[in-house]
A and B are shown apart, each in its own frame.
Chain A
Amino acid sequence: MTPNATTTADPSAPPLLRLESVAVAFGGLLALGGIDLDVAQGERLAVLGPNGAGKTTLFNAIAGDITPTKGKVTIKGVDCTALPSRLRPQLGVARTYQKTRLFGGLTVEDNLYLAQAGKRGRHLALRRNKLDAEMRVRAREAGQQVWLGAQLDEKVQDLSHGQQRQLEIGVALVTDPDLIMLDEPASGLSRGERERLIDLLEALPRESTLLLIEHDMDVALKVADRVVVMADGETIAMGTPEEIRSNELVHAIYLGEAG
């Protein structure tokens, strides 16, 4: 199957995210072999693939954690290929990490506050002001949104793994980003928590664009409008969840292994 770059959302609108021949090499290892992808605003795209397929590397290239070796990353029409990751929240980009990356010595609320402070420029202030108070209110709301309302004042390192995964998502959502990138958000969650996660993702504003790496097929195929399947740094299939479910190649290299 030849991957195509069309979207299911609104083909006429300029894409929110455009990848043109994006390649990433680590020394002699080609982790991404030249990915072309357009993601429209409001689209929900799941990225599937076996371990080592290059999914997280793709995320890192989009989020700016690594600079692509070749190719071009455009977000909202801005060439971001070499833009540092710290400047991307201004473009409305927020992400989570496969391995939880939170501020363990701070409380849940502090974590959700910092996520906003980063985007809203409260970096070096030595006095708290009205904006900080607003961000605190929003932080508490976002904590409740990811079912951590009772843990807002707890230090993150004291939370369970599942709670930390929930907060990881909260930190990404609290800034109301335009492009939300979730790297295996369901990993480590119980069945009940996964169902709540699906509800949460389905309840996101329709204009929010979602990129999702997920091994849990229930989550990925339920939430996504479109699915990209990767293997060995290439996209090997692209289509609706139904098309991917019935794709024999995907079954052979991915779903077959899982099932």
Chain B
Amino acid sequence: MMPTNSRSLAVAIAFVALVLLPLIGSDFFVDFVMTRTLMLGLAASTIVFLSAYGGMDSLAQWLIFGVVGFAIGNLVAESGRGLKFGWEPWLAVPVALAVATLLALVLGVLSARSTGIYFLMLTLTYAVIGFYFFGQVTTFSGFGGMTGIDPPDFFNGEPRRLYYAALILSALAYVAFRAIARTPFGMALQGVRDDPVRMESLGFNVQVHRTLAFTLAGFVAGLAGVLNIWWNGQIDPTSIGINPTLDLFIIAVIGGIVHLEGAWLGAFVFLGANIYLRDIPVIGNIGGVIHDRILAEERFNTVVGLILLVIMLTSPDGLAGMIARLRDRLRGRTPDDEDHLIDIGYQPTSKTQLG
């Protein structure tokens, strides 16, 4: 297993590189690839946190991410669909985050008794309900969605500032999630993950732990949702539907659902594939040539599906695990697959269904 110090050093080096990136990267790369990588990584990190520390595989994180977008849209936009409150963008942030956190609390309470596949299906149900809610309740949006949602002046027309905001929030979330794992609450959460029955008999309220972890993850997903709506300036129900919901889960799995840093790695590979693979002639022609069109969604899904398949077959704990093993090999250590899977307490036998 990669020692914790070595792992922290690698993450610190990556952070410094990301801080310096805007000095050398193109506008397109920084804004379209890396800002989105950090936003999606931040959202995916909540899936990893819940799964790796709490044993909860959630498909509701994208919904909470989207609810923040709709909340800010309703509060900030001055025209178009929705409530059109025309608030100052900064003022909308705490309200939207409060809505998202409260929603996560309610959904957490409702699902705290469920585990495994039942928890997964329950959270998928929430995602579907969210899609239809914003599609059909035209007071808040309607299927046409909302546009013209401006970020605060500080970020308006300043993509690098948004990049740094995404970087700072990602770094804070990463550090906070790892620190929480070592607190009494985090220890108890990992106990709940491993054996909820024993935790109850030791005096813990398992459902409260699950609910609070879900609420915390919801808050962080909400932060990512704030960045997203500022970056996008628009949102519609399709953008919080099942496809993007599954995309976020796939990002977490590609990156390595047992490694927090894998969330951002997965987002980078996912977006990189989406943006750059269409330029490669052979891959761009999968399924026949489509003239003058970007890589069609179906083709993109095929490519991502193949990438996912290859990663899952070669490294069940995703890219982060693959990198860790590679480092071990370079250092002459004997690689041990299971060691990486249990890097933060992961138990392979209970999670193999993820593949």
- Interface residues of A, Cβ cutoff 8 Å to B: 63-65, 84-90, 95, 97, 101-106, 110, 113-115, 117-119, 122-128, 132, 155, 157, 171
The answer to whether A118 touches B190, judged by C-beta atoms less than 8 angstroms apart, is no
The answer to whether A106 touches B191, judged by C-beta atoms less than 8 angstroms apart, is yes
Is B200 positioned at the interface, with any CB of A under 8 Å from its CB?
A: yes
The answer to whether B185 touches A106, judged by C-beta atoms less than 8 angstroms apart, is no
> What residues of chain A lie closer than 8 Å to B187, measured between beta carbons?
106, 110, 113-114, 117
Is B26 positioned at the interface, with any CB of A under 8 Å from its CB?
A: no
- Which residue of A101, A119, A157 contacts B203 across the interface (Cβ within 8 Å)? A119
Least distance between A164 CB and chain B CB atoms (Å): 12
- Which residue of B193, B195, B204, B212 contacts A102 across the interface (Cβ within 8 Å)? B195
> What residues of chain B lie closer than 8 Å to A126, measured between beta carbons?
180, 183-185
Least distance between A132 CB and chain B CB atoms (Å): 6
Least distance between A138 CB and chain B CB atoms (Å): 14
> What residues of chain A lie closer than 8 Å to B335, measured between beta carbons?
none
Tally of contacts, chain A with chain B, CB under 8 A: 105
Is B337 positioned at the interface, with any CB of A under 8 Å from its CB?
A: no
The answer to whether B202 touches A89, judged by C-beta atoms less than 8 angstroms apart, is yes
- Which residue of A63, A86, A104, A105 contacts B204 across the interface (Cβ within 8 Å)? A86
Is B208 positioned at the interface, with any CB of A under 8 Å from its CB?
A: yes
**Bound complex: CA A85 to CA B194 (Å):** 18
**Bound complex: CA A63 to CA B203 (Å):** 11
- Which residue of A90, A110, A123, A157 contacts B209 across the interface (Cβ within 8 Å)? A123
Given A87-B203, A106-B194, A127-B183, list of 9 further CB < 8 A pairs?
Answer: A88-B201, A103-B195, A105-B345, A123-B188, A123-B208, A123-B209, A124-B212, A128-B184, A157-B342
> What residues of chain A lie closer than 8 Å to B275, measured between beta carbons?
none
> What residues of chain A lie closer than 8 Å to B342, measured between beta carbons?
105, 155, 157
- Complex interface bits, B228-260 against A, C-beta within 8 A gives 1, otherwise 0: 000000000000000000000000000000000
The answer to whether B202 touches A115, judged by C-beta atoms less than 8 angstroms apart, is yes
- Which residue of B193, B194, B201 contacts A86 across the interface (Cβ within 8 Å)? B201
Is B347 positioned at the interface, with any CB of A under 8 Å from its CB?
A: yes
- Which residue of B180, B185, B190 contacts A123 across the interface (Cβ within 8 Å)? B185
The answer to whether A117 touches B201, judged by C-beta atoms less than 8 angstroms apart, is no
Known A123-B209, A128-B184: A103·B203 in contact at CB below 8 Å = no
Least distance between A123 CB and chain B CB atoms (Å): 6
Please provide the chain B residues from 323 to 355 with a CB less than 8 Å away from any CB of chain A in the complex. 342, 344-347
The answer to whether B190 touches A103, judged by C-beta atoms less than 8 angstroms apart, is yes
**Bound complex: CA A157 to CA B203 (Å):** 22
- Which residue of A86, A106, A122, A128 contacts B345 across the interface (Cβ within 8 Å)? A106
Is B99 positioned at the interface, with any CB of A under 8 Å from its CB?
A: no
Chain A: CB-nearest residue to B195: A101
The answer to whether B203 touches A89, judged by C-beta atoms less than 8 angstroms apart, is yes
The answer to whether A124 touches B347, judged by C-beta atoms less than 8 angstroms apart, is no
Please provide the chain B residues from 269 to 293 with a CB less than 8 Å away from any CB of chain A in the complex. none
The answer to whether B188 touches A114, judged by C-beta atoms less than 8 angstroms apart, is yes
> What residues of chain B lie closer than 8 Å to A132, measured between beta carbons?
184
